[in-house]
Structure 1
């Protein structure tokens, strides 16, 4: 008599916190859903706002907190994480998962510890060039570590668990992978895009306008600018550009940012993991100013790793001045062949198949069997 097929349990995705941790989980959820693989989400209360594939499967909420700040706050956070471990232990018992995938952030820690206690196979995904503190806490229980950069600080180069897959990007970004880069011809318009995170960067609103206005008049006249600004800065910055005759479109948020990236000859921005991945996927040259207060200074590590490919220029925050930026802009705008080379290097560093490669690792770890069509059987 043939052996009965016992279906494996769902894959648990453990994440929370900022969008940098959440988006790769959302991307993997969509890929697993497309392949017919069951999954469930374990997160903290912030997960109630999520949409897409993550919202279409069971969500299990646990306690969590970040042990930072005053002693009182750290103690309260440790207590919350202890409650979260109890929550996660019970949730995994109810779910009966085949594996657990963690995406960093302290909201994932209790679930990864509970997975280790239950002897479940677990995998981590690290978005940055520095293994985050939360991922470092649970590294010992991981069977695989999916990385986004060729080298990841705090992860040994000879760690056989590591597998370079890249950082998933949004579908509108992947759709622009084949969008060609055309360097600005002499005397033609130069499209410059400036953005500094979801709310813009205050320092960008101070430094970028003064740098643009200090460019040689002939060069400044060619600049067509799209800049993200904080709401409180927009009118001041708009008036500054208008007085100098600079064509500028300003807004606190651009819903069509992928298209703006593709249309840019040069991008000025931060160096969060998602920004670097999107610049690489589309293939656009950039000047990156790492956020100086990022945990473990991971934005500097991201930017330096990207710079090593020839894709960007890194300006540390302390060096981000009007004169320094104007000098970089002048050199780049007067050397379109260098811009083209940077764009090509960025494109070569792109990993648009990161989501599929991440799903492949999950399948390999869980032992799900697939039909010839690639759908779970």
Structure 2
């Protein structure tokens, strides 16, 4: 039973990218805020960015050896399937060592071994699916999950109706702190980021747009998260451009930066969209074209339909096209304001609290 003052041990499978990590971190922080006795451990891949994010947020991480299956080619997929039994065994050992009371899977190829291990050990287990079209991992473990938390109502039919709760995507508390859009030297702030790992296509298009558009250069101070791999190239490209820009591989202070932005150019991962909504930011979204089941385009189109964003497919993305869209928005500030208001109207402020209450109810009901 979950009681205040009694330690609850929670294990979260959330490896790989910031898109999987940050909603889980929001949930983990709220678990600990509600009761400092609660212990949270992450299971991940051991990748440098993942370790860095979790260390920065103050969480410990254990590792399992597992690789993705979708989109790897037949031979590689078969080899990676063979890793799953060992990954389940590794997960069972971690869950026993941590005396886990609750297991949370966030999707991605790390979730199935951990959720399966929890089922074998009869530990309560939930999954989080923040995308408009669920990924294969969550579809696979959906039948053995006790609860399925969704962000999009349209994803319900992929799972057993009695298990589903449509609650939104958890967002870190820092994003809810109000900050007015900042100006640097009289300029508005353009925030560019292609997810936690960056996006070369977005990086290149933004550089080309800024070089081509004197209006953009005069209007904006730019904060550009490039990703580690593309950082030096982007930094060098800006060096002689005359653009007022801050170029960084990764933004640990994203809540403060996003709150201060006037306009955002970004991918359309579910976590990013939830953060944009909480902050009420207008955006130009460039979906990652190789996302499983094309879920990023589905996510982006759902936001576009509300009037909160403009969508440019990567195949159609050029510096000229991007500059045209940005100039058009900035020349109609009333539309930019309407987009921000519609973005804000789509936020779900209670997603984290609803998830935790459901977890409490689940654990108390199963005693």
Give the TM-score, by structure 2 length: 0.82
TM-superposed CA distance for 1:327, in Å, is 2.3
Contact kept, 8 Å, 2:108 with 2:137, in 1: the verdict is yes
1:356 paired with 2:361, answer no
CA distance in 1, matches of 2:201, 2:13: 34
TM-superposed CA distance for 1:109, in Å, is 0.9
Partner of 1:373: none
CA distance in 2, matches of 1:12, 1:251: 31
**3-state DSSP of counterpart to 1:278:** helix
Contact kept, 8 Å, 2:150 with 2:156, in 1: the verdict is no
Contact kept, 8 Å, 1:42 with 1:62, in 2: the verdict is no
1:289 paired with 2:294, answer no
**3-state DSSP of counterpart to 2:339:** helix
Contact kept, 8 Å, 2:104 with 2:128, in 1: the verdict is yes
Contact kept, 8 Å, 1:21 with 1:103, in 2: the verdict is yes
Residues 267/219 of structure 1: CA separation in 2 closer, same or farther (3 Å cut): closer
Contact kept, 8 Å, 1:227 with 1:249, in 2: the verdict is yes
Contact kept, 8 Å, 2:42 with 2:59, in 1: the verdict is no
Partner of 2:12: 13
Q: Which runs of 5+ in 2 are unaligned?
A: 1-5
Alpha-carbon RMSD: 3.1
Partner of 2:3: none
Partner of 2:236: 235
Where do 1:221-260 residues align within 5 Å? 221-229=218-226, 230-239=231-240, 241-242=241-242, 246-260=243-257
Where do 1:45-124 residues align within 5 Å? 45-46=45-46, 49=51, 50-51=54-55, 52=57, 54-55=59-60, 61-68=63-70, 69-92=72-95, 97-124=100-127
Where do 1:1-377 residues align within 5 Å? 10-36=9-35, 38-39=38-39, 41=41, 43-46=43-46, 49=51, 50-51=54-55, 52=57, 54-55=59-60, 61-68=63-70, 69-92=72-95, 97-152=100-155, 155=158, 159-175=161-177, 178-180=178-180, 189-215=187-213, 217=214, 220-229=217-226, 230-239=231-240, 241-242=241-242, 246-367=243-364
Give the TM-score, by structure 1 length: 0.80
More displaced 10-residue stretch of structure 1: 37-46 or 337-346: 37-46
**3-state DSSP of counterpart to 1:208:** helix
| Count of residues in Structure 1 that have an aligned counterpart in Structure 2 | 348
TM-superposed CA distance for 1:326, in Å, is 2.5
**3-state DSSP of counterpart to 2:83:** helix
Partner of 1:375: none
Residues 331/122 of structure 1: CA separation in 2 closer, same or farther (3 Å cut): same
CA distance in 2, matches of 1:368, 1:31: 21
Larger radius of gyration: 1
TM-superposed CA distance for 1:219, in Å, is 6.5
CA distance in 2, matches of 1:119, 1:195: 41
Residues 179/80 of structure 1: CA separation in 2 closer, same or farther (3 Å cut): same
Q: Which runs of 5+ in 1 are unaligned?
A: 1-6, 370-377
